[in-house]
C-alpha cells in the first residue's frame, strides 16, 4: 500500500514524495533494542499554562506500550503517548478516509482535498494561526493513503495549542479559492510527472493494480489525469463534509506531556466541532478483487532482475482474520532476517538469488498483500528462485515449520516491535494506522500475546489458506 506525502515545511523531507507504507529491510538482522534512556531531566520550556512539560523519565520497560486513550463527546478518539525522551511534540490527526473512498469517476479526490486544505489556509490571510505554525513547526506535513488521510506536525511544546487550532479549523471547514484550485491541481500534475520520470516503484504499482483489479485499491492515489481535471470545488467540499468529522478521526499526541493537563486543552479546541452521520466505507473496500493473469514483465536495473510474487491475504478486519497472526509469523519465518528459511535456502545454500524479502502488514480495511520479492542476476535465476519458493511453501503447508524456526520468528517479531516503540513517530504511526483500519487500542495491547500463541499448525494452515485462494499475481 502506498501513500502520497505532502510537505509544506519539513526539515530533511522531500516535498510530494511517494513513500511505501510497507518498508522493505533488505536482508538485515534484527537490531538490538535501544540502550536505556538518559536519566537526566528534560529542560523546561515556556509553554501554554495548561500544558505542563513532564520532568519524569521512564525506564525502557515502562516506555513500551504506554498510551492513554479517551473519546470526546463528539466522537473524536484521542490517544496521548507520554514520551520523555524528546523535547518536541508530535501532533497528528488521522481521518478514516483515503483514496479507496474516491467516488466513481473522481479518482484522486481524497488526495486533492488534502492539498486543498493546505492551499485554502496558505493563500488566505485570515488563517494567521496556520502561517504562525509554518514558522514554528519542525515538520508540517500530510499524506493520503488508501484507507487514511493524515495531517501531522512536530512542534515545540509551546506551539502545541497552535497546532490544535489549525487542525480544528481544518476539520471544521474547507474554504476554497479559485487560486488554490489552480495551484494545487498543478502541484498534483507535477507529482504525476515526477513519478513517471523517476520510474521507481513502477513494477510494484503495476503488480498492485493487477492484484486488486476491480477493487478501489487498484486505482492510483493521485487519480487519473482526466478525472482529476474534472473535480470541482463542490466535489471537494462535499467530500470534506462527508469524511472530515470528529467521529471519523483519531487525534494522536506524543511527547513530554501529561494527559490530565493536556485534556482540557484538547477539549477547548476540538469538542465544539459537531459530529455528522457517516457512510459505510467498508462496502466497496471489503469487496473481493479479481486479479489478472500473472504479469510477464521483469524489472531489470543495474544488472539485477527482480521477481515478485504477491498473494492476497486476509487483513485484521477482512477475510479469514484468524490467519493474520500466523501469517505475520510466516513472513518472519520465511524472510525476516539472514536466518529466514527462504534467504537461507535460496541465497546462502543454492546461491541463485542475491536477496529475498517477505512482507505482510494486515492493518488494512480490505485484503492485504503477502509479498515475496527476489533479486537475482538474470531471468533464469529468478525463475529458479520462484520454483524453490513454491517447494518451500508447499513443504510448510504439508509438514509445518520447525519449532526452532517458529520460535526464532516469534522472538524476532516481538523484538522488532519493542524496537519500533522506541521510535516515537513510527510508533504513533503504527497506532494511527491500526485505529483507522478497524482495530482497537485493546487489540494493539494484546498483539504480543497473540503472536506468542501461534503454533506450527497455525502457520501450516495459514500457508494453505493463501495458496488455495488463487488470489495471486507474479511478476517474472
pLDDT at 378 over 80: yes
Dump the DSSP string for 186-232: HHHHHHHHHHHHH-TTHHHHHHHHHHTTTSGGGS-TT--HHHHHH--
More confident: 206 or 90: 90
CATH of the domain at 336: 3.30.830.10
Same-domain check for residues 354 and 303: yes
Tell me, yes or no, whether 125 and 273 share the same domain: yes
Domain end call among 283, 307, 341: 283
Q: Are residues 371 and 268 in the same domain?
A: no
DSSP 159: G
Residues 159 and 136: beta-carbon distance below 8 Å: yes
Q: Does 289 reside within a domain? A: no
In a domain, 33, yes or no: no
Asked which of 283, 307, 340 is the last residue of a domain, the reply is 283
**86, 76, 5, 24: which is closest to 53 by C-alpha?**
86
Q: What is the DSSP code string of 95-125? A: ES--GGGPPTT-TTHHHHHHHHHHHHHHT-T
Judge if 257 and 381 occupy the same domain: no
Q: Say whether pLDDT at 431 is over 90.
A: yes
pLDDT, average across residues 418-423:
90
pLDDT at position 208: 79
The answer to whether residues 179 and 306 belong to one domain is: no
> What per-residue confidence (pLDDT) applies to 51?
56
What pLDDT, on the 0 to 100 scale, is given for residue 2? 57
What whole-number distance in Å separates Cα of residue 183 and Cα of residue 461? Answer: 52
In a domain, 346, yes or no: yes
Which residues lie below 8 Å from residue 182, measured CB to CB, with a gap of 6+?
A: none
Percentage of residues in the chain having pLDDT higher than 70: 79
The segment with the largest mean pLDDT, out of 180-194, 208-222, 323-337, is 323-337
Tell whether 290 is covered by a domain. Answer: no
Task: Answer yes or no: is 32 within a domain.
Answer: no
Phi and psi (nearest 5°) for 250? -130, 125
Number of domains in the chain: 2
What is the pLDDT at residue 148? 96
Identify the residue with better confidence: 3 or 162. Answer: 162
Say yes or no: 56 and 155 in one domain.
yes
Q: Which of 283, 308, 327 is the last residue of a domain?
A: 283
Q: What is the pTM of this model?
A: 0.85
Q: How many CA atoms lie within 13 A of 35 on its CB side?
A: 2
- Per the CB < 8 A criterion, the answer to whether 307 and 382 are in contact is yes
Residues whose CB is less than 8 angstroms from the CB of residue 345 and which lie 6 or more positions away in sequence, other chains included: 388, 392
- pLDDT band with cut points at 50, 70 and 90 for residue 20: very low
Does one domain contain both 237 and 368?
A: no
**How much is the pLDDT for 48?**
44
Name the band, by pLDDT with cuts 50, 70 and 90, for residue 343: very high
pLDDT of 69 reads 94
User: Residue 202's pLDDT is what?
Assistant: 61
261-271 pLDDT per residue, tens = 999 999 999 99
Task: Single out the residue of 100, 114, 105, 72 nearest to residue 240, CA to CA.
Answer: 114
Q: Give the span between the Cα atoms of 330 and 341, in whole angstroms.
A: 10
Residues 381 and 340 in one domain: yes
- Give the pLDDT confidence score for residue 195 in this predicted structure: 65
Residues 200 and 124 in one domain: yes
Give me the mean pLDDT over the 72-101 stretch. Answer: 95
pLDDT tens profile 122-166: 888 888 999 999 999 899 999 999 999 999 999 999 999 999 999
User: 375: domain range?
Assistant: 299-475
Q: What is the pLDDT of residue 57?
A: 39
- Considering the domain architecture, whether residues 168 and 211 belong to the same structural domain is answered as yes
Same domain, 270 and 348: no
Q: Do the domain assignments include residue 294? A: no
Strand pairing report for 77-82 and 249-255: parallel
Do 183 and 139 fall within a single domain? yes
What pLDDT was estimated at residue 59?
41
Amino acid at each position: 500500500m502506498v501513500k502520497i506525502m505532502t510537505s509544506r515545511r519539513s526539515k530533511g523531507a522531500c516535498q510530494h514524495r511517494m513513500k511505501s507504507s510497507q518498508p522493505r529491510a533488505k536482508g538485515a538482522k534484527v537490531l538490538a533494542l535501544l540502550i536505556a534512556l538518559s536519566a537526566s531531566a528534560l529542560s523546561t520550556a515556556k509553554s501554554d499554562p495548561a500544558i505542563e512539560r513532564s520532568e519524569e523519565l521512564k525506564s525502557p520497560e515502562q516506555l513500551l506500550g504506554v498510551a492513554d486513550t479517551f473519546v470526546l463527546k463528539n466522537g473524536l478518539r484521542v490517544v496521548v503517548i507520554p514520551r520523555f525522551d524528546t523535547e518536541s511534540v508530535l501532533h497528528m490527526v488521522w481521518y478514516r478516509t483515503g483514496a479507496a473512498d474516491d467516488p466513481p469517476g473522481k479518482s484522486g479526490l481524497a488526495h486533492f482535498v488534502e492539498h486543498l486544505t493546505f492551499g485554502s489556509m496558505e493563500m488566505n490571510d485570515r488563517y494567521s494561526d496556520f502561517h504562525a505554525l509554518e514558522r514554528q513547526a519542525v515538520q508540517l506535513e500530510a499524506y493520503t493513503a488508501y484507507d487514511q488521510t493524515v495531517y501531522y506536525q512536530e512542534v515545540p511544546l509551546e506551539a502545541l495549542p497552535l497546532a490544535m487550532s489549525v487542525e480544528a479549523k481544518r476539520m471544521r471547514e474547507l474554504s476554497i479559492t479559485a487560486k488554490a484550485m489552480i495551484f494545487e491541481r498543478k502541484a498534483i500534475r507535477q507529482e504525476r510527472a515526477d513519478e513517471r520520470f523517476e520510474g521507481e516503484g513502477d513494477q510494484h504499482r503495476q503488480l498492485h493494480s493487477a492484484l486488486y483489479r476491480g477493487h478501489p485499491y487498484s486505482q492510483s492515489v493521485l487519480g487519473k489525469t482526466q478525472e482529476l481535471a474534472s473535480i470541482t470545488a463542490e466535489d471537494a467540499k462535499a467530500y470534506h463534509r462527508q469524511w472530515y468529522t470528529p467521529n471519523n478521526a483519531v487525534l494522536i499526541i506524543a511527547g513530554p506531556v501529561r494527559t490530565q493537563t493536556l485534556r482540557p486543552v484538547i477539549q477547548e479546541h476540538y469538542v465544539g466541532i459537531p459530529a455528522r452521520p457517516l457512510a459505510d466505507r467498508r462496502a466497496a473496500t471489503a469487496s473481493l478483487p479479481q486479479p489478472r493473469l500473472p504479469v510477464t514483465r521483469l524489472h531489470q536495473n543495474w544488472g539485477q532482475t527482480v521477481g515478485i510474487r504477491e498473494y492476497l491475504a486476509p487483513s485484521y478486519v477482512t477475510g479469514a482474520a484468524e490467519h493474520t497472526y500466523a501469517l505475520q509469523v510466516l513472513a518472519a519465518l520465511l524472510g525476516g532476517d539472514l536466518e529466514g528459511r527462504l534467504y537461507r535456502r535460496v541465497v546462502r545454500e543454492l546461491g541463485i538469488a542475491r536477496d529475498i524479502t517477505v512482507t505482510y502488514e494486515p492493518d488494512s480495511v480490505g485484503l492485504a498483500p503477502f509479498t515475496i520479492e527476489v533479486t537475482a542476476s538474470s531471468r533464469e535465476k529468478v525463475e529458479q528462485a520462484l520454483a524453490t519458493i513454491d517447494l518451500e511453501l508447499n513443504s510448510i503447508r504439508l509438514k509445518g515449520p520447525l519449532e526452532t524456526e517458529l520460535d526464532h520468528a516469534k522472538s524476532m517479531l516481538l523484538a522488532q516491535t519493542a524496537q519500533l516503540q522506541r521510535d516515537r513517530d513510527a510508533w504513533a504511526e503504527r497506532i494511527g494506522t491500526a485505529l483507522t483500519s478497524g482495530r482497537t487500542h485493546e487489540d494493539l495491547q494484546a498483539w504480543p500475546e497473540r503472536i506468542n500463541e501461534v503454533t506450527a499448525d497455525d502457520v501450516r494452515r495459514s500457508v494453505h489458506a493463501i495458496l488455495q485462494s488463487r488470489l495471486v499475481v507474479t511478476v517474472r
